[in-house]
Chain A
Amino acid sequence: MSILDQKQLIASIHPFGQLSSRELDALMKKIDIAYYTKDTLLISKDIESIAFYIVIKGTVHEYIDEQLHNVYSHGDSFDADALIYGKTESKFVVDEDLICYEIKKEDFLDLMQNKEIQSYFLQDFISRHKHLKEFDAQSDFTPFLMARVSEIFLHKACIVDADISIYEALKEQKKLQAKVIIVQKDNSHTIVTDTDLREKVLLERLSVDEKISQIANNEIITIQSNDFLFNALLIMTHKGIKRLIVTEDDKIVGVLEQLDLLSFFANHSHLVAVQIQKASSIEELQFVSEDIKNLIVTLRAKGVKARYITKLVSALNEKIYKKVFEMCVPKELQDKCSLLVMGSEGRAEQTIKTDQDNALIISDDVDEALFVAPMEQLNSYLLELGFPKCKGNVMVSNPFWRKTLHDFKLQIKEWLSSLDEKELQNLSIFLDAKSVAGEESYLTTLRNYLYENFSHRDDVLAHLAKAVLYFETPLSLFSGFVLEKEHNNKLDLKKGGLFAIVHGVRVLALQYKVDETNTIERIKELNNRGIIDKNFAEELIESFDTIASIRLLALLEAKDLDEENYINPQKLSKNQRDLLKDSFKVVNKFKKFISFHFHLNMVV
């Protein structure tokens, strides 16, 4: 550990960093360092809080009703509420010899004169959360400027021999959909742009049978693929040019267009969408889907909220699905069926490609057998694009998930009567279904059928809801989090938090006939219908977003798929840890809400 300076340490603790240098100096004159041995009781109902504590070293446990509620360690502070309101229900006990800063009560209350400090400590949960998040986003901004040329979409380089005709060169250019022609002579390159063609060929009435080298006399300007995009922008601006030839080990690998560069800085996603549309083969789609991962990295670095990233990525994946569907299913059959994505894709909460969870509803008036081959093809194409096979075989190649409308209705009836775990799980997956290609109305029909059958079947709903309580929220003990030894002291974000929210909200959505599949949209709709009050809805959304965005980070860093839901809280920044802790508290609150709502204590 190295604390640079006392003043610096204090300033590094939010919200004291908001203080001006002079205010900070004044504050330093009021701070003492105290030492407390293990088991010292600092604050309780009977021991009035006399100071605000900032931990330098050691840990302090906070208990409410003898239950461990929070753990404070280096950089943490407590307890503003006890000082402001003059009482507390909590008990603060030193767990490991404590060295801490103490700000006396009067001095702390004086400090509250500062508007920033005051609002920080007086804010309720939600706004405090947003406050911390904004603070976090600022520090994430830099990586965006550090993006490299290799991370952006590059146009194919159309390189032609100096001796071929202008006509041949143009044909080659069209084939590659390239913007410019690069002319190679020995080891040197020159460039032919649209302007050259207009001015030197059309206006000069030059025959297109002439050699291309005749009109190529502009030197190319290159940039290394590992250079910063920012530099590319500088070169373009400086030289007044619209494109750069990108090289890697002295070989030309592509062309960087100014337009792409600018839209990368403005809205990178637009490009990917266009590329998907333009793709004419599975290989091209493959190329594009590689790009989606880069997109996620950039957007996160930009500080874009996880929920927008996942929505965007889901939208792009949907486009891929649609494209693949069009490639596999014969035109005349395309409106005789509806391709569904389910699970996280259906909820538009998928980040990097998760397992394929898809299904097909087939019209009652066509032969099912016609779809067997196309669907198998669809699955294998998706696999090629990097969508892993679903371990539970929830895929259109499986006849269970490829049924006529009529058979799906029978299936729903069966779900209603079966209390089997596996069946309930299938039902959960189906509840998130979203139509991405083909005729959408089939799904609407099925969904309405589902609502009709489930209304007033609270018994089945309760059984479905029970799963919310399957996993413990990993909050307590070590630094506030319960870590899993077999996973290198990491904690599972999906089991620990996301699942409870997603599933609980999903069951509520079924009960109240909410059509949305996205968890946040569902929460909003449930709030509109008065099932969840506004405050709680916002808490839920913020918490869901926090856990999801930290998970996104874990996903991006995970080396193998099995570890993707795990994070090591020690690696998170102080702010993120606090946000996560708060979020898990909300998850616990939600579990209680669901238990109460579905009377889960009465369900065996």
Chain B
Amino acid sequence: MFKNFFSDFKKKRNLAKLKDEKFRFLFEKDSSGEYVVFDTETTGLDVKKDEILSIGAVKIKDNKILTSQTFEIYLKNSAEISSKSIEIHHIRPCDLENAIDAKEGIERFLHFIGSRTLIGYYLEFDVAMVNKYIKKSLGIELPNEMIEVSEIYFDKMMPLIPQGNIDLRFDTILKKCGVPDMGAHNAVNDAIMTAMIYLKLTQESNNVKTSI
């Protein structure tokens, strides 16, 4: 109760800062029944300095991952991409030829997610990255509800591994959940894999112990 009250309060304060009325929909009650799983590729892990290179997202409805409505954009960046980060995200400068302006890209992303609940793996970071952009342009932070898959996984594994040394690396969760590795780690593929993990963990809530 108090938690709800607190989040409502936070939401209202957030809304009060909204500079552009066009984005009021982010605060409306979601009626689609869908979730959005998203992942970003960035130039680095420092929210303050680094920038978003690409965003990949898919919607989940019931037991389906709507890959038919996959969202994928590449964003223009202010600086050269360092060769070290290329090793991680495999986005080369030439891959950004179809990139669009950050402002436009982020707005398109906001339209894609609407007020749906967001799902991700270490979502906090991805959300912080997006917030960095919209704070500047819209004055707000993402108001959406959030679900962290590594948290669900942790809760599920807890009773099985009492010592609590639960390996929360993405690859480990992937393997433990029996989700196929889609190979290339780009934003969209990661989002799809995360979505599969989410479905695996939630759809099968009762007999997950036997299969993990």
Contact = CB atoms under 8 A, between A and B. Distances in A.
B203 A56 contact: no
A4 interface: yes
Contact of B64 (A2, A5, A30, A35): A35
Given A29-B68, A99-B196, A35 B203 contact: yes
A32 B67 contact: yes
Interface stretch (B95-103, B113-121, B179-187): B179-187
Contact of B204 (A2, A3, A6, A37): A37
B192 interface: yes
B68 A31 contact: yes
Given A97-B200, A97-B204, A97-B211, A33 B65 contact: yes
B178 A57 contact: yes
A57 B196 CA distance: 11
Nearest to A4: B183
Contacts of A57: 178-180
Interface residues of B, number: 23
A101 B66 CA distance: 10
B182 A5 contact: yes
A34 interface: yes
A5 B183 contact: yes
A165 B199 CA distance: 88
Interface in A97-149: 97, 99, 101-102
Given A3-B183, A5-B182, A56-B180, A35 B67 contact: no
Given A97-B200, A97-B204, A32 B180 contact: no
A1 interface: yes
B63 interface: yes
Nearest to A34: B64
Interface string A6-43: 10000000000000000000001111111111100000
A94 to B, nearest CB: 11
A33 B182 contact: no
B67 A2 contact: no
Interface in B169-201: 178-184, 189, 192, 195-196, 199-200
Contacts of A97: 178, 200, 204, 211
Contacts, number: 64
Contacts of A5: 182-184, 189
A3 B180 contact: yes
Interface string B145-184: 0000000000000000000000000000000001111111
Contact of A102 (B64, B179, B184): B64
B184 A33 contact: no
Contacts of A6: 67, 182, 189, 192
Contacts of B211: 97
B180 A1 contact: yes
A205 to B, nearest CB: 76
A576 B189 CA distance: 30
A31 B63 contact: no
A32 B179 contact: no
Contacts of A29: 68
A35 B178 contact: no
B67 A99 contact: no
Contacts of A102: 64
B184 A32 contact: no
A102 B192 CA distance: 15
Contacts of B207: 37-38
Interface in B77-130: none
A32 B183 contact: no
B91 to A, nearest CB: 16
A32 B67 CA distance: 5
B63 A34 contact: yes
Interface string A142-161: 00000000000000000000
Interface of A: 1-6, 28-38, 56-57, 97, 99, 101-102
Closest 10 pairs (CB-CB, A-B): A33-B65, A35-B199, A4-B183, A34-B64, A35-B63, A32-B64, A57-B180, A37-B204, A1-B180, A32-B66
6 contacts: A5-B184, A28-B67, A32-B65, A32-B66, A56-B180, A101-B67
Given A4-B183, A38-B207, 6 more contacts: A6-B189, A32-B65, A33-B196, A35-B64, A35-B200, A35-B203
